[in-house]
């Protein structure tokens, strides 16, 4: 049995008055998602362990079967792996967004949806102006970049910018972790690390405000925002955790997900035109998934678009991203593998909800559906947050999803 996970990042949501009290998944026309639910088995999944924030790095790592208490090191190290930066033992790698501030508040977490070329221009400029033997800025994708601090300390508290839209930015500056008392003489103290990062934030604002790129734009990319740092993680591969997986791939436009795949031992497939936004190359991703599954046992296909629409509070766009996932991903993948002689098992789920009326991730269970030829369906007939609560799998937590999925042979 081959296995494929189709993950619509942030696809789950809340009931919305404008949709007659339905969620976007309930409201959107999704015949193929509904087919997988009706012809398969469904349930709900808790993807966030106690003590962790509901971030994509946490949820996706848990979905793939990892114990976050043993492997979690933040987004920075995962994105370093995807970018190709080989972390050294004394490195602290931290995600570095380029964001937009306005009137003393965080206007958005993406600087006006920068392209990778635009982001590269600004990151190289910042590295030239602020980089040194201790500080290095490294280009990632779009607005998502990397900041490496030599001998930095990960025991700091950072505010993910997508969790704080329209909030004042100064109270959200980096702070040392409360209650952390250990001292490692080989690293900076948490306070010194926080002070350095905050100094870089302030200096970046002056530099970016005067950059020609921002002078010619209505939307401004006028501040860095570092968050989710850590050291090099130690993770077993999926092949070590699940011997039935002999080979596999990850397909995503997001460095974070590629980094998880790297440490999980998966091949990273980069699809031309894959953007992480609603304009992503859906057909290219579906085709790459089908081709990878012909040769390998396992594929993790990640689609970011719904999450970005949720963070922007754009209901119409989120509905469109859900319809696109159904028609341009689920449909061609299902139709292809259903014709194969060998068995294929498909799982469909989000990693967390990103409600458009809240514009941030929430720690709530997400619906999932599992289908393969010959499976005995449960009584659920549609794929959404409410229907799947009646599914035969019930409520699973964390590693239970992957353990359940990989038992299907």
Give the number of domains in the chain: 2
Residues 67 and 86 in one domain: no
> Could you read off the pLDDT of 304-336 as tens digits, one per residue?
999 999 999 999 999 999 999 999 999 999 999
- Final residue before a domain boundary, out of 181, 207, 231: 231
Residues 186 and 283 in one domain: no
E strands, 134-260, in order: 135-141, 144-150, 156-157, 175-176, 223-230, 248-251
CA atoms within 13 A on the CB side of 71: 21
Residues 259 and 402 in one domain: yes
Residues 222 and 258 in one domain: no
Q: Say which DSSP state 22 is in.
A: B
Which residues make Cβ contacts (< 8 Å) with residue 57, sequence separation at least 6?
Answer: 72, 74, 75, 78, 228, 256, 260
Residues 130 and 203 in one domain: yes
Residues 22 and 114 in one domain: no
Residues 336 and 372 in one domain: yes
- Structure confidence at residue 255 (pLDDT): 87
pTM over 0.95: no
Q: What residues form DSSP beta bridges with 16?
A: 22
Structure tokens at 83: 């970018």
Ramachandran area for residue 44 (φ above 0: left; ψ -120 to 50: alpha; else beta): beta
Q: How many residues does the chain have?
A: 409
For helices 116-130 and 190-209, the axis angle rounded to 10 degrees is: 120
- Structure confidence at residue 170 (pLDDT): 98
Calculate the CA 292 to chain-centre distance.
Answer: 21
- Structure confidence at residue 234 (pLDDT): 86
For residue 59, give its domain range.
Answer: 2-72+235-407
- Structure confidence at residue 75 (pLDDT): 87
- Structure confidence at residue 65 (pLDDT): 97
- Final residue before a domain boundary, out of 231, 259, 291: 231
Instruction: Please give the backbone phi and psi of residue 280, each rounded to the nearest 5 degrees, phi first.
Output: -65, 165
Structure tokens at 186: 């080989």
- Final residue before a domain boundary, out of 182, 211, 231: 231
Task: CATH number of the domain at 299, please.
Answer: 3.40.720.10
- Structure confidence at residue 287 (pLDDT): 98
Residues 309 and 387 in one domain: yes
Predicted confidence pLDDT, tens digits, the chain (409 residues): 999 999 999 999 999 999 999 999 999 999 999 999 999 999 999 999 999 989 999 999 999 999 999 999 988 998 898 888 989 989 999 999 999 999 999 999 999 999 999 999 999 999 999 999 999 999 998 999 999 999 999 999 999 999 999 999 999 999 999 988 877 778 999 999 999 999 999 999 999 999 999 988 999 999 999 999 999 888 999 999 999 999 999 999 998 899 999 999 999 999 999 999 999 999 999 999 999 999 999 999 999 999 999 999 999 999 999 999 999 999 999 999 999 999 999 999 999 999 999 999 999 999 999 999 999 999 999 999 999 999 999 999 999 999 999 999 8
- Structure confidence at residue 181 (pLDDT): 81
Residues 19 and 86 in one domain: no
Residues 248 and 377 in one domain: yes
Residues 251 and 397 in one domain: yes
Residues 252 and 334 in one domain: yes
């Amino acid at each position: 049995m081959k296995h494929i996970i189709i993950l619509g990042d942030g696809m789950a949501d809340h009931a919305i008055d404008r949709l007659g009290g339905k969620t976007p998944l309930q409201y959107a026309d999704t015949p193929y998602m509904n087919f997988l639910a009706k012809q398969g088995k469904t349930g709900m999944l808790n993807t966030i362990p106690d003590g962790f924030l509901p971030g994509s790095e946490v949820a996706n790592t848990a979905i793939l079967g990892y114990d976050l208490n043993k492997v979690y090191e933040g987004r920075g190290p995962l994105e370093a792996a995807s970018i190709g930066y080989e972390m050294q033992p004394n490195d602290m790698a931290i995600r570095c967004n380029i964001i937009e501030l306005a009137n003393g508040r965080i206007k958005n977490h993406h600087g006006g949806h920068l392209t990778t070329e635009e982001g590269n221009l600004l990151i190289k400029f910042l590295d030239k102006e602020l980089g040194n033997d201790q500080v290095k800025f490294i280009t990632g994708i779009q607005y998502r970049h990397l900041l490496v601090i030599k001998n930095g300390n990960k025991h700091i508290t950072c505010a993910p910018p997508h969790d704080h839209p329209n909030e004042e930015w100064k109270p959200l500056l980096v702070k040392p972790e409360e209650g952390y008392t250990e001292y490692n003489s080989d690293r900076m103290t948490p306070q010194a690390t926080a002070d350095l990062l905050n100094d870089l934030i302030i200096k970046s604002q002056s530099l970016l405000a005067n950059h020609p790129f921002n002078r010619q734009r209505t939307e401004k990319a006028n501040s860095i925002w570092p968050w989710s740092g850590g050291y090099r993680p130690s993770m077993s591969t999926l092949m070590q955790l699940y011997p039935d997986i002999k080979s596999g791939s990850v397909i995503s436009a997001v460095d974070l997900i590629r980094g998880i795949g790297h440490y999980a031992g998966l091949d990273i497939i980069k699809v031309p035109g894959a953007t992480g936004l609603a304009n992503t190359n859906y057909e290219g991703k579906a085709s790459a998934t089908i081709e990878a599954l012909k040769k390998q046992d396992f594929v993790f296909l990640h689609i970011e678009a719904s999450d970005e629409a949720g963070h922007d509070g754009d209901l119409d766009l989120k509905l469109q991203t859900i319809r696109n996932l159904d028609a341009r991903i689920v449909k061609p993948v299902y139709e292809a593998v259903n014709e194969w002689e060998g068995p294929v098992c498909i799982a469909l789920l989000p990693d967390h909800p990103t409600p458009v009326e809240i514009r941030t991730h929430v720690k709530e269970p997400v619906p999932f559906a599992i289908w393969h030829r010959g499976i005995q369906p449960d009584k659920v007939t549609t794929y959404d947050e409410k229907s799947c609560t009646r599914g035969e799998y019930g409520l699973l937590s964390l590693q239970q999803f992957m353990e359940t999925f990989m038992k299907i042979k």
